[in-house]
Amino acid sequence: MKSVTVIVPATSANLGPGFDCIGMALDLWNELTVTEGDFNIDTKGEGHGDIPSDSRNLIVTGVEAAFLESGKELPKFSYESTNKIPYSRGLGSSSAAIVSGLLAGSLLSGANLDNETILRLAADIEGHPDNVAPAIYGGCRIGVHDGNTWITDCINLPKNLNAVLFIPKFYIDTHQSRAALPDHISRADVVYNLGRVALLVNSLSNNHLNLLETAIEDKIHQPFRSANIPGYRAITRAAKKGGALGVFLSGSGPTILGLTHGREITVEYEMAEAARLARVEGECITVPISYKGVAVIKKS
Ligand code: HSE
């Protein structure tokens, strides 16, 4: 095989209290073609001009990791990506790059790695599993490290759940955002999050959507991160007023996500209007949850 094309979905991590352990895939995709030949990286669409076009590019990291795992020598490749996942906005663009690179590298090396291995490699590169797991498997996933490797399981979601996204224009660097979080958490705050993450999984699995507003509350990361996002409170309030069942910061932000089960147009309107009044530039879109993860669409 000399060339492979894969698609990979956007993901939203944390879902409020599930910091570093819960995430879900969204129906918004990047497409990547890796072809044997002179090294070149061509990025079209989201992130064009900002995503590194040298070996720092996380797609290259993914391909290299797959070849290392396979024990095969790494040939030179050219990389062409067409991106719809907004870059550096808390929608899993880094994970998408790592996971798509791993799958492409897995096929091009002939290693044909299984999903468990791709998860191990991807989560080791990223450092946490909550974006890479749903990017690989689709749907809503829990990810934990058992001291040896990464384990994931799915959370069943109610049908027809959507995500209304307000995507600000500015970028947030996840590494910096993580570094700014406190190292120590009080027992009271741990209990606060534990209860809510249990409630979140239970309410999603059992379609108890009336509990989501409480279940997505968090004291571990959102209070610190949201302070740096202009309009956060107003946009969140507006999404709830419009009918969102639960509203949270997507990953490390700046995207604000309202989970909906109907009323999407109203929620979109209210969020966009609140952002306009708060003078925060950005766009509002509705995307369904994706039950599919990374996939190969062409090989030759
Ligand atoms: N769990 C990670 C964080 C997700 O919140 O930093 C980053 O997208």
Within 109-186, where are the H helices? Answer: 115-126, 132-137, 174-179
Q: Does ligand 1 come within 6 angstroms of the Cβ of 251?
A: yes
Q: Does ligand 1 come within 6 angstroms of the Cβ of 130?
A: yes
pLDDT, one tens digit per residue, over 205-224 is 999 999 999 999 999 999 99
DSSP state of 69: H
Considering the entire predicted model, what is its pTM? 0.97
Fold that domain 162-287 belongs to in CATH: Alpha-Beta Plaits (3.30.70)
DSSP state of 147: S
Nearest 10 degrees: CA dihedral of 36, 37, 42, 43?
10
Distance from Cα 14 to the centre of ligand 1, integer Å: 7
At 214, list the tokens: 């409480």
Picking from 43, 39, 101, the residue whose alpha carbon sits closest to that of residue 67 is 101
Picking from 172, 167, 6, 177, the residue whose alpha carbon sits closest to that of residue 96 is 6
At 273, list the tokens: 């209007």
What is the reported pLDDT for 233?
Answer: 97
Distance from Cα 252 to the centre of ligand 1, integer Å: 5
Q: Does ligand 1 come within 6 angstroms of the Cβ of 12?
A: no
Q: Does ligand 1 come within 6 angstroms of the Cβ of 13?
A: yes
- Closest atom of ligand 1 to CA, residue 94: 8
Compute CA 61 distance to the chain's CA centroid, rounded to the nearest angstrom.
Answer: 18
Q: Is the dihedral of CA 131, 133, 136, 138 positive or negative?
A: negative
At 197, list the tokens: 């993450």
d(CA 105, CA 70): 9
162: three-class secondary structure by DSSP: strand
Phi, psi for residue 155 in degrees, rounded to 5: -105, 125
User: Which CATH architecture group holds 3-155+290-299?
Assistant: 2-Layer Sandwich (3.30)
Tens digit of each residue's pLDDT, the chain (300 residues): 899 999 999 999 999 999 999 999 999 999 999 999 999 999 999 999 999 999 999 999 999 999 999 999 999 999 999 999 999 999 999 999 999 999 999 999 999 999 999 999 999 999 999 999 999 999 999 999 999 999 999 999 999 999 999 999 999 999 988 988 999 999 999 999 999 999 999 999 999 999 999 999 999 999 999 999 999 999 999 999 999 999 999 999 999 999 999 999 999 999 999 999 999 999 999 999 999 999 999 999
Distance from Cα 289 to the centre of ligand 1, integer Å: 18
Distance from Cα 241 to the centre of ligand 1, integer Å: 27
Write the burial class of residue 200 (CB in 10 Å: 0-12 exposed, 13-18 middle, 19+ buried): buried
CB 94 within 8 A of CB 54: no
Q: Is the dihedral of CA 28, 90, 25, 145 positive or negative?
A: positive
> CA–CA distance from 104 to each of 6, 127, 138, 249, 285 (Å)?
7, 21, 17, 30, 29
- Closest atom of ligand 1 to CA, residue 225: 5
Write the burial class of residue 74 (CB in 10 Å: 0-12 exposed, 13-18 middle, 19+ buried): middle
Other beta carbons within 10 Å of 73? 7
Domains in the chain: boundaries: 3-155+290-299, 162-287
At 206, list the tokens: 């059992």
What is the reported pLDDT for 180?
Answer: 86
What is the reported pLDDT for 218?
Answer: 97
